[in-house]
Structure formats: structure tokens, C-alpha cells
Amino acid sequence: MMTDFGRRLRKIRQSAGFTQKQLADRIHVSKGTISNYETEERQPSPAILKDLARTLHISADYLLGMEESTQTLDISDLTDEEIQFFEMAVQLFRKKSKR
């Protein structure tokens, strides 16, 4: 089962400034569905989990309790060349921090 999924969803939703209804409207479900997720009476399907993560700009892994950090970087609208550039920059920063 999903550890603390409901608590994490509620926290991120509130931090993003969404009411349950606003979030529900964005991902095309009912307010009651969001409430059920937050109280852990129901679990989202993989497709809804993906929509929640995208809408809230958070990783699905965070919502699922698989990681503790809420920090993500959305690169979905970048070209392959731009993504490659960022991957190289990250590698350089990691090498520098290991010194």
C-alpha cells in the first residue's frame, strides 16, 4: 500500500494553493475522489497518479512515499539537445562536489 499517500497529497495540494474541488477539476475527477485519496479510502489508478504528479509539479515517487524530497525538475517540454546539456551540467556539478 501507499505509505502516507493521503497526508502527502493533502500537504502538496494545500501548498500549491488548490482546494480539493480545484484539483479535482484539473484532473477530471470529483471532489469526493480527491477527498477519498486524502483519507486513503481509495487509491488512485496509475493514470490518475500521473495526472496528480503533473498537476502538482511533484514526483509520483514522492506521493507514493518512495522519496522524501519534493524537489523535481520538469524537463518534459525541452528538446533532446537541451536535456543532454542539463545532464552534462549535472554530471559536472556532481564531479565538482566529490572533490
pLDDT for 5-64, tens place per residue? 999 999 999 988 999 999 999 999 999 999 999 999 999 999 999 999 989 888 888 888
- Quote the cell numbers at residue 79: 528538446
What is the pLDDT, as a whole number, of residue 3?
Answer: 59
With cut-offs at 50, 70 and 90, classify the pLDDT of residue 1.
Answer: very low
- Quote the cell numbers at residue 46: 496509475
Q: What's the CA gap between 30 and 10, in Å, rounded?
A: 15
What is the pLDDT, as a whole number, of residue 98?
Answer: 66
Q: What's the CA gap between 11 and 68, in Å, rounded?
A: 13
Q: What's the CA gap between 60 and 52, in Å, rounded?
A: 8
- Quote the cell numbers at residue 59: 514526483
- Quote the cell numbers at residue 82: 537541451
pTM of this structure: 0.68
